[in-house]
Structure 1
Amino acid sequence: MVGVLSTSQAFTSFTFSGQKSTKALGFPNDAEFPLALKPAANWQPTLQESVTAIEGLAKSGQISSLAQKHGGAIIFRGLPIKTPQDYSEVAHAFGFRAHEEVGRPPLRTVLAKNIKTANEGPPELPIWPHNEYGWSTINPAWLTFSAIVIPEQGNIALASALEKQAPEFVRTLLKKGVRYVYRYGVQEVKSNTGTSVLGAYGQTVVPGDDAETVRRKVEAEVQRHSERFEWHEDGSLSVMHIVPIIRKHEKLGLTTFFGNLTSAWGRSKHYRATEPPYLGSDGSYHPIPEYGDGTPIETKYLDLALAIAEDSQVLLTWQPGDVVLIDNHAVQHSRSPWVGNRTVLAALWDEDGKIGDFEEGIEILESSPRVPIVV
């Protein structure tokens, strides 16, 4: 049992179908992945009691230690979360610093303090395994998700498996890093990556700005994390990011595969966008990731990485009020299609010192700016 207030006001672990062993996923220890917690005994916490209990776990260091032991993910079930504001209060109880997004591919809507919709793309379309903002020099350390309305239907592992099955691929990734290109159109489109130029980089644009001012403001935001960008005749904008993907998880002392290679490849295949200009059947652009020097990544390795990521997944059937805490530097996440109404909310959080780089990665990052938004 994990207790913080009293024996009657504590969380206890439970199991659910599909959980995996951390050892099987490449961790040195053997524990359930993810850790699943619920109120113990007959405790039916109020919202404030839930907040106080999680604050106690966080301040005592138990959240961090439990996340490390259980592969970087914890599920809290049975909390009385019914609104975005409820979720905001619980999410802030973890004690992390709020992360400000730079360059936002998915559509999101702010619903409460630091709380947004997870992704407003079509429900029938999947999202493949990825790390949040793994393509950028500016990325969150932690993620929290919560289910408010559930539907009718519903990296460490990757690094370890690739090292065993394709060591030459890992060596090349370590040396060269990965090049991602995101192309943003003028208009929003019905896609899981359908953010427009202004949706991604128009945070400082205001009504009345002329075209020159808009472009200048957009470019200033882009340059927070990339100097490599290009405007197209149709008004769309391509932004290139070259970042390491074989990295160090400093707290775990393990090598982590941190990036969006698998999701970018899965998306390009799904939308039949595997040839230039990578315009998909959804009307959005889905360029294929390349090695950092611009050479193509072999299809066999892209397929292998995606297969390993998908095989390592734990499928969670949401229940109302669920809160999931994810170490973004250790765990990838994805989304399956669903039918009916669903509201899953997300919050992104910062913590310094969790992710590091090998010498090759440090060299790759020398040409990639990192100017986060500080609030």
Structure 2
Amino acid sequence: MTEYDRFEAFTFAGQQETARLGLDNNKLFPLALKPAEGWNPTLDESIQTIKKLSESGEIFDRLREHGGAVLIRGLPIKTPQEYSDVAHAFGFPAHEEVGRPPLRTVLAKNIKTANEGPPELPIWPHNEYGWSRINPSWLTFACLHTPESGGETPIISSLGLAAALKERAPEFVEKLLHKGVKYVYRYGLEDVKSNTGTSVLGAYGQHVKPGDDKEVVRQKIEKEVRRHSNRFEWHEDGSLSVTHIVPIIRKHEDTGLPTWFGNLTSAWGRSKYHGATEPPYRGDDDSYHPPPEYGDGTPIEKEYLDLALSLAESLQVLVKWQLGDIVLIDNYAVMHSRSPWTGRRTVLAGLWDDSRKRISDYPQSENFLNSN
């Protein structure tokens, strides 16, 4: 009996066939596992089983076959520390965030609130830090409190979206390959009520100390910004704009397939929701939400922005949380978003790196990458 046999697969509404997503098999996305009948694991048994499955590579083989995500249900995870212990069993090194749009609070080792934006605000499909040159390879989420209603975490195949766009709008895919995408994030002096509501200091002030004068503060912030972008601008009101030009159609090394890796759909969804699709792009929440552009600064056609968002939403699978659920996501193969909710909802996140290079770029992207 292998460690994998201690779990059994189950199905839930909305799972999708991987053949539809461009994979060369016909399994269900995501993989869903629960303890096999007769096994009621303790926390330590859960940790040791996941650790053995990870060290053998078996869980990652299964995850890849199923499109890049696995939901494990039925483990006795009730606290941030217990979630941290289980998540570390996958064996990943922790990811260091550079430039942090959402508000997060650390609750245990390498475990944070997923996003502290208001519950009535949705979050649209995105890859974590898909707008940056520095991004995590893997994500984990766990549920410690289920809401009264809503609050699902939709997950979306980036592989499926890349395939669908190539079929529906091949000219758009070619433009993206050759130009990349330009994102602009503007950070104010104060945190605001928004799902991108961190401030200048919240995003880049990790090394600022009490007593630092204004010039020292600015130097420390700029040093942190330059870790992933040399394009930034200070404004008269003290806010800071940081520009990122990055590829979005990339090669997923584990499958060899094209993948959509970015935040174009979330940025566009947010711009539309907040009424910020036209200059100066300041929305009804008092935050800036400029829509993404091509990497050369030309506007992305709105019909393409709408198509990418609608296709992403058509591919989503809703994870309806139960207490103790943990989800492992390949950030380079799967996007995620968030549905509004009522009541108390606690879903915590972990961001993780990998020693392997798991994503690369196509030759068509070399020109704009070399110029940036």
TM-score range, shorter chain: over 0.9
Q: 1:194 aligns with which of 194, 197, 205?
A: 197
Task: Quote the Cα distance in structure 2 between the aligned partners of 1:363 and 1:204.
Answer: 34
Deviations 1:319-347 (A, max 9, x none): 00000000000000000000000110000
Q: 1:360 aligns with which of 340, 354, 364?
A: 364
What's the offset of the Cα at 1:170? 0.3
Q: 2:294 aligns with which of 276, 291, 294?
A: 291
Deviations 1:129-172 (A, max 9, x none): 00000000000000000000110112101100000000000000
What's the offset of the Cα at 1:42? 1.5
Task: Quote the Cα distance in structure 1 between the aligned partners of 2:51 and 2:163.
Answer: 33
Task: Quote the Cα distance in structure 1 between the aligned partners of 2:127 and 2:70.
Answer: 16
Name the residue aligned to 1:268.
271
What's the offset of the Cα at 1:25? 1.9
Task: Quote the Cα distance in structure 2 between the aligned partners of 1:119 and 1:142.
Answer: 17
Task: Quote the Cα distance in structure 1 between the aligned partners of 2:249 and 2:73.
Answer: 33
Task: Quote the Cα distance in structure 1 between the aligned partners of 2:280 and 2:198.
Answer: 18
**8 Å CA contact retained: 2:178, 2:367:** no
Name the residue aligned to 1:4.
3
Query: Which secondary structure does the structure 1 equivalent of 2:142 belong to?
Result: strand
Q: Is residue 334 of structure 1 aligned with residue 337 of structure 2?
A: yes
Q: 1:307 aligns with which of 307, 310, 320?
A: 310
- Describe how 1:1-375 pairs up with structure 2 within 5 A: 3-4=2-3, 10-154=6-150, 155-351=158-354, 352-368=356-372
**8 Å CA contact retained: 1:243, 1:361:** no
Query: Which secondary structure does the structure 2 equivalent of 1:332 belong to?
Result: strand
Root-mean-square deviation over aligned CA pairs: 1.1
Q: State percent identity of aligned pairs.
A: 69
* Total equivalences in the alignment: 364
What's the offset of the Cα at 1:112? 0.3
What's the offset of the Cα at 1:360? 2.9
Ranges in structure 1 where 5+ consecutive residues have no aligned partner: 369-375
Task: Quote the Cα distance in structure 2 between the aligned partners of 1:266 and 1:146.
Answer: 25
Please report the TM-score for the alignment, with normalisation by the length of structure 1. Answer: 0.96
What's the offset of the Cα at 1:63? 1.8
What's the offset of the Cα at 1:314? 0.2
**8 Å CA contact retained: 2:125, 2:265:** yes
Task: Quote the Cα distance in structure 2 between the aligned partners of 1:197 and 1:3.
Answer: 50
Task: Quote the Cα distance in structure 2 between the aligned partners of 1:316 and 1:28.
Answer: 24
Task: Quote the Cα distance in structure 2 between the aligned partners of 1:261 and 1:157.
Answer: 16
Q: 1:53 to 1:247 in 2, by over 3 A?
A: same
Name the residue aligned to 1:373.
none
Counterpart AA for 1:249: H
Task: Quote the Cα distance in structure 1 between the aligned partners of 2:73 and 2:2.
Answer: 15
Task: Quote the Cα distance in structure 2 between the aligned partners of 1:89 and 1:363.
Answer: 44
Counterpart AA for 1:366: N
Query: Which secondary structure does the structure 2 equivalent of 1:285 belong to?
Result: coil
Query: Which secondary structure does the structure 2 equivalent of 1:186 belong to?
Result: coil
Query: Which secondary structure does the structure 2 equivalent of 1:198 belong to?
Result: helix
Task: Quote the Cα distance in structure 1 between the aligned partners of 2:229 and 2:33.
Answer: 40
**8 Å CA contact retained: 2:73, 2:325:** yes
Task: Quote the Cα distance in structure 1 between the aligned partners of 2:178 and 2:118.
Answer: 37
**8 Å CA contact retained: 1:3, 1:11:** no
Ranges in structure 2 where 5+ consecutive residues have no aligned partner: 151-157
Greater shift in the superposed pair: 64-73 or 356-365? 356-365
Query: Which secondary structure does the structure 1 equivalent of 2:348 belong to?
Result: strand
Task: Quote the Cα distance in structure 2 between the aligned partners of 1:146 and 1:299.
Answer: 35
**8 Å CA contact retained: 1:47, 1:86:** yes
Task: Quote the Cα distance in structure 2 between the aligned partners of 1:228 and 1:211.
Answer: 21
Displacement over 6 Å in runs of 4+: none
Task: Quote the Cα distance in structure 2 between the aligned partners of 1:277 and 1:62.
Answer: 50
Counterpart AA for 2:3: V
What's the offset of the Cα at 1:359? 1.6
Task: Quote the Cα distance in structure 2 between the aligned partners of 1:103 and 1:52.
Answer: 34
What's the offset of the Cα at 1:367? 4.4
**8 Å CA contact retained: 1:150, 1:318:** yes
Task: Quote the Cα distance in structure 1 between the aligned partners of 2:350 and 2:366.
Answer: 28
**8 Å CA contact retained: 1:228, 1:239:** yes
**8 Å CA contact retained: 1:31, 1:70:** yes
Deviations 1:175-198 (A, max 9, x none): 000000000000000000001000
Query: Which secondary structure does the structure 1 equivalent of 2:120 belong to?
Result: coil
